[in-house]
Structure 1
Amino acid sequence: MRLLVVEDDPELNRQLVEALSDAGYAVDRAYDGEEGQYLGETEPYDAIVLDIGLPKLDGISVLESWRRAGKVTPVLILTARDRWSDKVQGFDAGADDYVAKPFHMEEVLARLRALLRRASGHASSEMTCGPVRLDTRSGRVTVEGTAVKLTSHEYRLLSYLMHHAGRVVSRGELVEHLYDQDFDRDSNTIEVFVGRLRKKLDCDVIQTVRGLGYLLAAPEGQR
């Protein structure tokens, strides 16, 4: 899953990016409203963390611009303001949730997990496909109850497929949603990670749909 953090405070931006990266997300960053607006309009993010008080262009204007352009990406707004009217303004502009500063990082992570689940139609933090279970809270993956150790890229791949289980996901879509801007993107790398993931899971849940991409579905007899 690929996220964007738009926050002008360098230290808070760094802390958010670090925490989200440690949680298994690919993360891009912006430090002002103009850069954030551009990235949000041109890149396919799964969710965005947006500060309200930004230089060059304020967060409300950025959010309104995205929504006018038809962008439906879930947005979590950050604000130092505690007036209820500012929260209402954020929701009316198209925000999906908010966190008031100062905040605990765990709350931001929990709210983002919830936004990502809802966006893909999942109600629980635990996702299952046949014998495979992924807990988005702990990042723990098990197959028939046995823990499976994955690298960060393998986890991102499985998490994205789990969030979109039952739908064919193209290699191009995976490249766009699993890697941040600075990563040397190559669709052939996806095939390598899929191969490694299949070997570690040791069950037939990731199907190759020739010419289209990959489909995560429970094996026959376990649906």
Structure 2
Amino acid sequence: MTESRGLVLIVEDERHIADVQRLYLAREGFGVHVETDGIAGLAAARRMHPVAIVLDIGLPGLDGIAFCRALRDVGDWTPVLLVTARGEEADRILGLELGADDYLTKPFSPRELVARVKTVLRRAAGPPGQTESVGRLNVDPISRTVRCDGEPVELTATEFNLLAYLLQHVGQVFTREQLLARVWGYPGYRDTRMVDVFVSQLRAKLGEASPIRTVRGVGYSATASGR
């Protein structure tokens, strides 16, 4: 018997889509629980403590945006993979700003879903590395904590990994495509706007202590001090 990789919660109101997602994730050794509306899904997330949540935006009862906001407002940073329709770009960006870790646009391959869930979980585990102290920030990759002037800063798994990667390469400039490949694990991925959203979120949370600089026409880098 294959050892379980942990429980994935699917919140999807289209039953046939949820059944296919469940089948493919179960084949890869995940335990899977499905809910078909947002209210029941949020209750399940709080009760079951899944390792990841596959969350449709267009849900009855409580939509995916409100669901994600409710999770993050109480300090629940379970990795969330948003599932969106093609016309939901604004909601997709808002979901990322609220703390979702990634997204898929319908229609998508169930194999792509499984690959994305695995990648999100790898990011949540985080890369090995040494504690970085830059300016007013202290970033500890073992405990996956960030402190600014000694005070904790709450980051999603992806926000943490992006910050840690840039700080491990202070002064080096990365294109958005390079960051998608090295932080997200998506070589050749075309939607580079996702990088901009996460950089914006980091800057909002770190304020004047943010070490991230925009290099016009190229991408981003980290400096040895905040603003």
**Interval containing the TM-score (normalised by the shorter chain):** 0.5 to 0.7
TM-score for both structures, normalised by structure 1 = 0.53
**Larger RCO (alpha carbons 8 Å, 6+ apart):** 1
* Residue from 8, 28, 32 that aligns with 1:27: 32
Match of 2:72 in 1: 67
Displacement of 1:82 after TM fit? 3.4
Displacement of 1:15 after TM fit? 0.7
Match of 2:7 in 1: 2
Number of residue pairs matched by the alignment: 123
What letter corresponds to residue 63 of structure 2 in structure 1?
Answer: D
Structure 1 segment 1-223 matched on structure 2, within 5 A: 1-122=6-127
Displacement of 1:81 after TM fit? 3.3
Displacement of 1:44 after TM fit? 1.5
Percent of aligned positions with the same letter in both sequences? Answer: 41
Residue 100 of structure 2 aligns to a residue whose secondary structure is coil
> What CA deviation, in whole Å up to 9, does each residue of 1:120-165 have, x standing for no partner?
1258xxxxxxxxxxxxxxxxxxxxxxxxxxxxxxxxxxxxxxxxxx
CA distance in 2: counterparts of 1:93 and 1:83, whole angstroms: 15
Displacement of 1:93 after TM fit? 1.7
Gap runs ≥5 in structure 2: 1-5, 129-227
CA 1:83–1:59 in 2, change beyond 3 Å: closer, same or farther?
Answer: closer
What letter corresponds to residue 23 of structure 1 in structure 2?
Answer: E
Contact 1:82 1:100 in 2 (8 A): no
What letter corresponds to residue 98 of structure 1 in structure 2?
Answer: Y
Which of structure 1's runs of 4+ aligned residues deviate more than 4 A? none
Q: What is the root-mean-square deviation of aligned Cα atoms in Å?
A: 1.3
Displacement of 1:83 after TM fit? 4.5
Displacement of 1:94 after TM fit? 1.3
What letter corresponds to residue 4 of structure 1 in structure 2?
Answer: L
TM-score for both structures, normalised by structure 2 = 0.52
Contact 2:82 2:92 in 1 (8 A): no
What letter corresponds to residue 36 of structure 1 in structure 2?
Answer: G
CA distance in 2: counterparts of 1:80 and 1:3, whole angstroms: 21
Gap runs ≥5 in structure 1: 124-223
